[in-house]
Amino acid sequence: MAGKVWIYLSDKELSTEMKASIAIDCDAFLKEWNAHGNMLTGSAEILHNRFIVIKIDETGYAASGCSIDKQVQFIKALELKYNISLLNRLLVAYKEGDAITVKPANEVKRMLKEGSLSMDTIYFDASIVDAQQFATSFEIPISKSWLAPKDLV
């Protein structure tokens, strides 16, 4: 699929009930999402009980500034409704065994320098905006991310 992706990391783990309700909200949003009156073909999924991923197929119509603003307003509404933070770009997520840990980026960088976190730890790159890149590079070792201290790479 040629298109864009937006990845929103939740500061809290989403319960089964929250995921079901958020999925309904996302479906309702996507049914109305348009750019200058043209319906956008998008999808949403919730991954690892932490990420809301919205994708758009741009082979028809591309998202415009106004339609992206509508999406941000929708995400802000989810934050209020579910008492979660989805727009805090200072938070990062990584795997610890089967669990997903979310911490401020500066704390992760400190842990890497101290050696309490491995460069092989799987990091979730929520900065990805390309759907094809999302398919191949959403989960990468920290050593291949912007978090890796330059003196440890």
Tally the domains of the chain: 2
In a domain, 149, yes or no: no
Residue 150 lies in a domain: no
Phi, psi of 99 (to 5 degrees): -95, 155
Same domain assignment for residues 66 and 98: no
What's the pLDDT at 153? 47
User: Which of 124, 150, 3, 148 has the alpha carbon at shortest distance from 52?
Assistant: 124
Global pTM value: 0.92
Whether the CB-CB separation of 7 and 92 falls below 8 Å is answered with no
Is residue 152 assigned to a domain? no
- Domain assignment of residue 78, yes or no: yes
Residues 8 and 33 grouped into a single domain: yes
User: What confidence score (pLDDT) does residue 151 get?
Assistant: 62
Helices 16-32, 65-82: crossing angle, 10 deg rounding? 150
- Together in a domain, 118 and 58: no
Would you give per-residue pLDDT tens digits along the chain (153 residues)?
568 999 999 999 999 999 999 999 999 999 999 888 888 899 999 999 999 999 998 887 888 888 899 999 999 999 999 999 999 999 999 999 889 999 999 999 999 999 999 999 999 999 999 988 999 999 999 999 999 877 654
pLDDT at 29: 96
Query: Which pLDDT score is estimated for 30?
Result: 95
pLDDT at 152: 53
Cα(43)–Cα(59) distance, integer angstroms? 14
Asked whether the beta carbons of 8 and 75 are under 8 A apart, the reply is yes
Alpha helices in 1-152 (DSSP H): 16-32, 65-82, 105-114, 131-137
| Pair (113, 140) in one structural domain | yes
Q: Are residues 71 and 102 in the same domain?
A: no
- In this prediction, residue 127 carries a pLDDT of 94
Per the domain annotation, does 16 fall within a domain? yes
Domain assignment of residue 104, given as a range: 91-127+136-144
67 within some domain: yes
